[in-house]
Chains A and B, each alone.
Chain A
Amino acid sequence: MSRLLDQLAIVLGRAPRRPQTFAPAAAAIHASKRGRGLKGAELLEDIHEAHENHTWRNRRWAVLLAINLLFTLSFWVDIQVLEGSLTASRLLGFHLADPYSSLLVALAEKAVPVNLAIGAVTVALFWGLIGGRAFCAWACPYHLVAEWGEMLHTRLARGGLVRDHPLHRATRTVLWAAFAILAFATGYTLFLTLNPIGMLSRALIYGPSLALAWVGLLLTFEVLYARRAWCRYACPIGLTYGILGAKAPVRVTFDLEVCAHEGECRKVCEVPHVLELTIKGRAEEAKMDVGPDCTRCGLCIDTCPTGALRYELKGVKRLL
């Protein structure tokens, strides 16, 4: 229980702490690795190869595009499978709604529309049972364009043209509450007006509008100033799914024994604080789950040169 609360606190913005105690197995592994450096040329070779590996990223992009294409085709070709957009829709007639957007509407309306509640609970259960923020990496169209922005940012940063300026992660929690309070107090849903996910989803379905300039502005900020700023420090939808998925069964797990602690995973991660357990001497147990803020994007799995990070379906034997 205290472990769960600790993880939720990290999602809300607290920095991960160095553990006080270690499980005997983990302590033994840490002791055996003490004083030993990285494995040298062989590991560098593995790292080089791992960077060529985009297995999970490509699968994920295919799923993400398929989901968004299903929305578009439902309207354009009138196949009527998934009508609406990512904020609210109907899948073969069943209501679906984004939980946080629904909360804001209910706060603004001071009422709980039944269809909206049904849709929000369905979606919360679905992503909660898969992997919380898996929504972000596997369905959100802004996540995809932000990944492209991130590639540009890292390339420019390598050339010394830009530098990342991290924000405090609690910003997201503050915004989550502020948007909710504003909706209740003013009756207008500010977040839904400036939500780049809704904008992109609507642009893909109903055609582009000038609102895309706002998406462009956010991306420019991310490329030039703060890497992945919206997803890391602002998006209340991501925070909502992070909390909902705190006990989700689809996880990325970490195997301390085989980890080389070279840190390639943290360099590609959208939310590197969840991977601090891969720092040498930090894992409390020999096998650990990555925290709930993880989007299950799989970049770390693709990048890991030793195979220490894997997908796992909790409760069932190893998925892969």
Chain B
Amino acid sequence: MSEAPSSSPPEKKGSRPRLSREQEQRRQMLRGGLVALGLLLLQPLAWLPVVRRWRARLRPPGALEETSFLGACIKCGQCVQVCPVEAIVLAGVSDGFGLGVPHIDPRRQACDFSCDALSCILACPTGALSHAVRTREEVHSGVARLARPEACLARKGEGFHGLARGPGFSGRLRYADIDRWHPIPVRDHPYDREVCDLCVLECPIGEEAIRLVPFDDGSGERRFTPRVRHGCVGCGVCEMICPAEPACIVVDARAEHGVRRGRDPHHGSPDQDMRQEGKDEA
């Protein structure tokens, strides 16, 4: 833009020296080149948040491995529209190449598989959410982890009575024994548990994914702890429902374990699960 004589205050029409056709052409090319260069230089800028992993986003069910996912997503938001609990949201400009790409913030609203059919995968026109994933058990969005064991009510031997997330929480969950087809607000469903086991109780996968197991905390009393197992798909319901603030159990996005084109979607990450189990028993 420095090539333009406009840096000086605008002159009156007519006093500007008339450029020859060739000069004008050359200026137009220079400006065009600079603008094109400027736009293309946004490539490394958009790449930075991705490569530095500023945001470890939990992707919707069936998401390809992170790099392929970002490239394959056309940023249309059809997955957002079909989700019955509106768990899926689109990222903003701070996600770089992740701009307009869907993710789930499970503490706000987890994927509870209310749709049964994996509607987001069916809605995806590009296969960024892979059609190879057909059932909820095949999903590998992430894996749950007991991040704050010291705050876990079950481990402290405490029960839970009341609203899991308080009266102001807007998240929804499908309670099969109340309404098989429609999710209801979590705030409309009070709990009354002798020992807090909400993460286990509400897990859409069941005991293949998480169990409450006895452990010895040295006090001599019988205590329980949630144990994440290899069936965990990373839907995030445990993180959403955990009554502790912040949540004791969180889902780590499993970007490196997403679905790879042509690979078996069943493979999980047994090593990590083993480590988790070993730690709990220690």
Contacts and interface: CB of A to CB of B under 8 A. Distances in A.
Contacts of A175: 36, 39-40
B10 A163 contact: yes
Contacts of A182: 40, 43
Contacts of A113: 72, 125-127
A162 interface: yes
Contact of A202 (B25, B35, B90): B90
Q: Is the interface of B mostly helix, strand, loop or mixed?
A: helix
B40 A190 contact: yes
Given A163-B10, A178-B36, A188-B70, A213 B78 contact: no
B10 A162 contact: yes
Nearest to A208: B92
Interface in A23-44: none
A231 B82 CA distance: 32
B31 A167 contact: yes
A88 B31 contact: no
B4 interface: yes
Q: How large is the interface on B (under 10, 10 to 19, 20 to 34, 35 or more residues)?
A: 35 or more
A202 B100 CA distance: 8
B38 to A, nearest CB: 10
Interface in B91-114: 92-94, 96-97, 99-100
B126 A105 contact: yes
Given A109-B126, A115-B125, A160-B12, A202 B93 contact: no
Given A108-B72, A194-B42, A171 B36 contact: yes
B47 A87 contact: no
Interface in A108-134: 108-109, 111, 113, 115-116, 119
B76 A87 contact: yes
Contact of A192 (B33, B90, B100): B100
Given A160-B13, A202-B100, A233 B35 contact: yes
A161 interface: yes
Contacts of B100: 192-193, 198-199, 202, 211
Contact of B35 (A161, A192, A229): A229
Contacts of A234: 35-36, 39
A84 interface: yes
B81 A105 contact: no
A109 B92 contact: no
A75 interface: yes
A234 B37 CA distance: 12
Interface of A: 74-75, 83-85, 87-90, 95, 97-98, 101-102, 105, 108-109, 111, 113, 115-116, 119, 160-163, 165-171, 174-175, 178, 182-183, 186-190, 192-194, 198-199, 202, 205-206, 209-211, 213-214, 225-226, 229, 233-234
Given A116-B126, A160-B12, 7 more contacts: A84-B81, A116-B127, A171-B33, A190-B40, A193-B99, A225-B1, A234-B36
Enumerate the 5 nearest inter-chain pairs by beta-carbon distance, A residue then B residue, closest first.
A171-B32, A108-B71, A88-B76, A168-B32, A168-B28
5 contacts: A83-B81, A97-B76, A161-B10, A167-B28, A167-B35
